[in-house]
Amino acid sequence: MTYSRTVRAAAVQISPVLFSRDGTTEKVLNAIASAATEGVQLIVFPETLIPYYPYFSFIQPPVLMGKEHMRLYEEAVTVPSPVTDAVSSAARASEMVVVLGINERDQGSLYNTQLIFDADGTLLLKRRKITPTYHERMIWGQGDGSGLKVLDTAVGKLGCLACWEHYNPLARFALMAQHEQIHCAQFPGSLVGQIFTDQIEVTIRHHALEAGCFVVNATSWLSPEQIGQITTDETLQRVLKGGCNTAIIGPEGNHLCSPITEGEGMAIAALDFSLITKRKRMMDSVGHYARPDLMKLQIDLSEKHLTDSNNSKASVFTQPLQLEVTD
């Protein structure tokens, strides 16, 4: 692990091209190319950006959402696919670590999926949101613990969670205990209003403080025209405004650049890893400040399957692992 380095990171606030996987993918590739001209080494995109977050599920009752749900299936991303190949190539060409949110289609199911591409284009991680939130449960299946991993990347040790997974303290602790240096957070944006912006602020700053890491957070943004495409009901349109907070937070819980709460843009900041040590020398919640003799996390990091082959030397079902917080 490297303790003294500086990484240039970007969090992207971006509008999807509604109802178009290819259109949104093109915007992602353009953003990567633009960030490369700024010397960016790590770029984080919003939750399920490709093709778009299923805003319809928040404002439509189940009996009416069938058409939009079907359209999302048609535009969703399979892994691997031309979309992931294109992002991999862009990451490699720019020598940039890319964290991307997609609607993943796996046969007859959709998932809220986070992808991490290393700077050489390798797809290091495909993880699915553990539990979709509220209305999202009508759209996405559940993930498992196999994605609760901190990865060694070209820019350091990376972990990621999506949206309200940050309100599951054990999920956050699973990443903290693996000594993440940069936490990549994703939220949908353009949802609920100012209260959501404020909640994101509290969430990402608290995690940075508690984990002693950097947090790079990205949210999407809908233009007034796009909101009109989703619904013509002015009452419902009000809940598709605000709720954006694209920001980069340091280990002491402070903003490292101005956050973006409206419109498209890119928040860029230098992440000085010596700030991690500055924070952790006083409070390392998974080191000298931990009490594993009193409290510890038990977590199952295995990948779940519907079938178990008796012919396999190693069962796909494994015993829960204890994730110790001591060095």
DSSP per residue, 175-221: HHTTT-SEEEEEE--SSS-HHHHHHHHHHHHHHHHHHTSEEEEEEB-
Q: Which of 75, 136, 149, 163 is catalytic?
A: 163
Instruction: Report the SS3 class of residue 153.
Output: strand
Alpha carbon 158 to its chain's center? 11
Q: Which of 129, 149, 157, 280 is catalytic?
A: 129
Active site residue 160: no
- Please answer whether residues 215 and 202 qualify as being in contact, where contact means their C-beta atoms are separated by less than 8 angstroms: no
Active site residue 157: no
Residue 138 has φ and ψ, to the nearest 5°, of -80, -10
CA distances from residue 235 to 197, 227, 241 in whole angstroms, order as listed: 20, 12, 11
Counting beta carbons within 10 angstroms of the beta carbon of residue 32, is it exposed (0 to 12), middle (13 to 18) or buried (19 or more)? buried
Give the torsion sign (CA, 43, 172, 203, 49): positive
Q: Which of 47, 104, 180, 210 is catalytic?
A: 47
DSSP per residue, 98-120: EEEEEEEEETTEEEEEEEEE-TT
Active site residue 163: yes
> What are the beta bridge partners of residue 103?
112
283: which 2 tokens?
């409070």
CA distances from residue 245 to 102, 168, 282 in whole angstroms, order as listed: 19, 20, 29
Any idea which residues carry the catalytic annotation? 47, 129, 163
